Each structure stands twice: as C-alpha cells, then as structure tokens.
Chains A and B, each alone.
Chain A
Amino acid sequence: MPNITLRSACAFCCSLLLLVLFATSSQSAEGDEMLTVSFPVIDKPSLPKVVFNHTKHVNYVDEHGSDCSRCHRVTKQGLSTAAFDVRLQKAGDQVKYLHTACTDCHSQSGRGPALVQCRACHAEAASLGANNK
C-alpha cells in the first residue's frame, strides 16, 4: 500500500512538472501601431486597459474587402475614434457591448483572442491605479 501511495504521489508531481514545462512564451508584434481603448472611461478598473494591434485590424479589413467603417462610424465630426456604436449605448452597457462586438468578430473570423482570454486584450502595463480618473 505505501508503494502505491508513493507511486501515485510521484505521478502527481510529474504531471505538474510537465504542465509547467508545456507553458511557453507567446509572440509579440514589433513596429505595429498599438492603441489603447480610452472609451468608455472606467473609474476603478479591475483589469488593465485594453490594448490592441491597430495595424493587424487594418490589414484584416483590407484583405477582406472592407474598410474603416467595419469598426468606425462616420459622424458629423468625421470618423469616430470609438469602436462600433459604443457611444450610443447606455453607460452601464458599454463594456458588455464592446466585449460582444470585439469577440463576436473574432469568433466569426476565427482569429484574435476569444472572450476567455481576458488578458490578451486587457494588457496595458501599469494602467491599473495610475489612470483611474
């Protein structure tokens, strides 16, 4: 019986070690235009601000026969910097709206982070606490 315990404990530890070794580092983009989502303004953010690779998005819509209007709306002041119709949403619904708008497109195109990959987008370094205004 002690042998079984010992073997099981070893198997337990080995599987943990394999797990840690399996995790590898991810890729980064160089020279691309990285933008921070600044609307809506969140008073006390629980997660870092959203940063995304604008160049990749522009390239994607170009390649798929679309243009800026895929994400940006034309207003009287020109092209809106905010994504989709987020400014038209009620204040309490804006975050939910953006989660849906971004991840639906990612899901349909089969590219980009899924909704479960929170920190793939919420990745702006040191934005927590510093920009709480």
Chain B
Amino acid sequence: MLQTLSGPCFVASLLIFFVGLLGRAVWYVRGLDWRLERVAYGYHKDRSIPGAINSIAKWLLPGGTAGWRAQPVAMLAFFLLHFGAVLIPLFLLGHTVLLEQTTGICLPSLPPNVADILCIASLSGIALLVLRRLFSPTLRQLNTWKDWFVLLLTFLPFFTGLMAKFDVNAYDTWILLHVITGELFLVLAPFTKLAHIVLFFMSRAQLGMDYAIKRGGRARGGSFPW
C-alpha cells in the first residue's frame, strides 16, 4: 500500500496541489475589475511593481508592518509555524532524497537537528494559534469548523513526521500516516483556506499596487506596506 501511496498517489496529489493553486491564482486575477483595478495596475507599472514587492516583502518579515507589530502574539505564532512549514517540506533530508530520486532535482538539505527544532517550533506555533482561536473574543465570533479543520490538516503532517523519528517502534505506522496526511494536505490545499499559500502573494501584491497607485499612493512614494 505504501508503494502506491508514495508513488502514483503522491504524484497525483502534487499535480492537484500545483494545478489547483495555479487555478486559484488565475481565478484571483480574473476576479479583478477591469476598469477599477487591472487597467490602473498595468498603466502605472512604475508604482504598481514596487508597491507589490514592498507589500509582500514587509509582510514576510517579522515586525515588518504596523499590522504585525500591533499583534505580537499572533505574529510569533505565525512565524513559528511558517518557518518550518516552508522549509521542512522542501529541505528535510528524506524529502530531498525523494525529490532527487523521482525528479533528479537536487536541493540542499537541512541538518536533521535543525529540522527537528523547526518542526517543534511549527507545532508550538500551531498550539499557539489553537489557543488564540479558543480565547480571542474576535476569533470566537468568527470560528467555524473549517478553521479547525485547516489547523488539523496542518498539524498532522508535522506531528506524524516527528513521531516517525522519535517513536521508532511504530515507525512504519507513523510513516504511513505521514504520507496519507501529507497528501491530504496537498490535495485539499487549493480548496480550503490553505490556498493562502498562493493567494497571500496575490492579495498582498494587489493591495500593494492598489495603495501605491490610488488612495494617495503617489504622494507616499508608491510603496507603503498596507
């Protein structure tokens, strides 16, 4: 079963992930209004491109924007989770070996103890986000089962991967669960809020462009990180 899951099923879930997220990005651009948005962004490239890059870059830096600085706990939880969430899937030793064996692409790999620390940091980030969802009055008004589901979907690949390493007696079971939950994450990402993997860049770019062109953008020099 593991041969099939880690072979054809893995390739299929990667395809769904990439094609699905590409579809979400295209859908996002198509959803923009021609007259209010697309023409303005294309016409004022001198301000729209720096505006987009600036907004994306500053939101990717801890404390890079007033929005981050205003909510330090959320920022901590977010960055704890996302450092691992970006680095581990791509650069964990086992993952890079799989990538090289299946595609020939050879990426550098993280030292195993660094990967462990990143993974534990990510799990701590998820725990903080769970607590925030439970106790923040604003989020309590907004919570739906979908938010919990997305957190669970993110938690499981980290947790099963870490357990596979540390609970060696049940290694085969944890790896099987890791492959299943990892693929579930990939398959469902385009159809859930996990689509922010690509939509973060789309919406930040759009807001960056919008505020650099309109709403007094020219006076601010065209790159204020809203």
Contact string, A1-27, partner B, CB cutoff 8 A, digits 1/0?
Answer: 110110011011001100100111110
What's the least CB distance linking B123 to chain A, in Å? 11
* Inter-subunit contact A5/B134 (CB<8 Å): yes
A46 proximal to B (CB < 8 A): yes
B177 proximal to A (CB < 8 A): yes
Chain B contact residues, majority secondary structure:
helix
What's the least CB distance linking A62 to chain B, in Å? 23
Tell which of A2, A103, A116 touches B140, judged by Cβ atoms closer than 8 Å: A2
Question: CB-nearest residue of chain A relative to B102?
Answer: A115
Number of A-B contacts defined by CB within 8 Å: 93
Interface-side segment among B142-150, B189-197, B214-222 = B142-150
B residues 110-127 in Cβ contact with A at 8 Å: 111-112
Tell which of B97, B100, B177 touches A22, judged by Cβ atoms closer than 8 Å: B177
What's the least CB distance linking B68 to chain A, in Å? 25
A residues 62-105 in Cβ contact with B at 8 Å: 96, 99-100, 103
Contact A26/B170 with A1-B143, A19-B160, A100-B101 known, Cβ cut-off 8 Å: yes
What's the least CB distance linking B97 to chain A, in Å? 7
Tell which of A47, A99, A107 touches B93, judged by Cβ atoms closer than 8 Å: A47
Question: CB-nearest residue of chain B relative to A110?
Answer: B3
A residues 94-133 in Cβ contact with B at 8 Å: 96, 99-100, 103, 106-107, 110, 114-120, 123
* Inter-subunit contact A120/B171 (CB<8 Å): yes
* Inter-subunit contact A96/B101 (CB<8 Å): yes
* Inter-subunit contact A115/B98 (CB<8 Å): yes
* Inter-subunit contact B171/A4 (CB<8 Å): no
11 A–B pairs (Cβ distance < 8 Å), ordered by A: A23-B163, A23-B174, A26-B172, A46-B109, A96-B100, A115-B101, A116-B179, A117-B2, A117-B175, A118-B97, A120-B171
B152 proximal to A (CB < 8 A): yes
* Inter-subunit contact B7/A4 (CB<8 Å): no
Chain A positions within 8 Å of B38 at CB level: none
* Inter-subunit contact B143/A5 (CB<8 Å): yes
Chain A positions within 8 Å of B163 at CB level: 23
Tell which of A4, A26, A106, A115 touches B173, judged by Cβ atoms closer than 8 Å: A26
Chain A positions within 8 Å of B134 at CB level: 5, 9
Give Cα distance in the complex from A129 to B74, angstroms.
Answer: 39
Tell which of A8, A22, A47, A107 touches B148, judged by Cβ atoms closer than 8 Å: A8
What's the least CB distance linking A74 to chain B, in Å? 28
Give Cα distance in the complex from A110 to B145, angstroms.
Answer: 40
Chain B positions within 8 Å of A5 at CB level: 133-134, 140, 143
